Amino acid sequence: MEIPLSVIDQIKHALKEDIGPGDITTVSLIPEENDSRALYIAKGNFVLAGLPFAFEVFRQLYSSMLFNAFFNDGDRLKKGDIIAEVLGKTRVILEGERVSLNILQRLSGIATLTNIYVDKIKGLKTKIVDTRKTTPCHRFMEKYAVRIGGGGNHRFGLFDGILIKDNHIEAVGSIKEAVKLAKKNHHLVRIEVEVENLKDLKEAIEAGADIVMLDNMSISDIKKAVKIANGRVILEASGGIKIENVRDIAETGVDMISIGALTHSAIAVDISLKIVK
């Protein structure tokens, strides 16, 4: 995978934040010429995600570092699995260890949580997608992890999709006017409208919305919304989605379910990096 320059810059910033002017412990203890081999070890069961970024950390410190992955992103790992190895300068391994692990643990956590939701609605047409509720400046990596976990990506940012939310509607005056203005200025882009009740759903459909987000609606109202829409628009359920109710919501017939928790509440998995020689 080709890593965008913006992501490489973030990795450089993370290393600078951690190492600063120098790793005083490692430089004091380890001769510059020393080489070592270190293993990434799974300390729990999870879905792996983030190897390209975790390896890039060491490449940024020393381009001649070598890597061998024994698993691929998307694989389900068990406690004790040897994920990969890194070989080269001992100092580089120690300097990059924390940043590399932080990335791999965080992204694997996102992939694991996403996969739990995806498995919960297995066999249904509904897709699980993410939101923009990501860690600032880490959106590319976190949305990558969602895909690895089997989910889909909603819009990446404010620039690649029109989503008319409650504050837009309040500022403009009505759903109808908001959709009209959006179509006038961006006629080639699909338009999504967020609604909180069935009345607004009908208005959004009549106004020409392509997608309607059903925000924090009850399952009963979502079922009614599916009947009202009758395939005329794509329906997205959002708000209040939990592992316990995601299948019930999917069974209403909505096309997708967006879940902010995939990225803002995922718990990092436990991985260690151990020097073995």
Catalytic residue among 194, 200, 203, 236: 194
Minimal CA–CA distance to 91: which of 17, 29, 143? 29
**Residue 98 falls in the annotated catalytic set:** yes
Say whether 120 is catalytic. no
Compute CA 165 distance to the chain's CA centroid, rounded to the nearest angstrom.
22
Q: Are 93 and 38 in contact (CB under 8 A)?
A: yes
- Our answer to whether residue 277 is catalytic in this structure is no
Q: What tokens does 241 get?
A: 């989605």
Question: How far is residue 184's CA from residue 51's CA, in Å, rounded to a whole number?
Answer: 43
- Options 56, 130, 215, 236, the catalytic residue: 215
Instruction: Assess whether 35 carries a catalytic annotation.
Output: no
CA angle 135, 140, 145 (to 5 degrees): 85
Catalytic residue among 43, 59, 120, 133: 133
Query: Catalytic pick from 43, 59, 98, 127?
Result: 98
Which residue, 164, 252, 249, 246, is CA-closest to 212? Answer: 164
Based on the residue annotation, tell me whether 270 is a catalytic residue of this protein.
no
The one catalytic residue in 12, 43, 165, 183 is: 165
Catalytic residues: 98, 133, 165, 194, 215
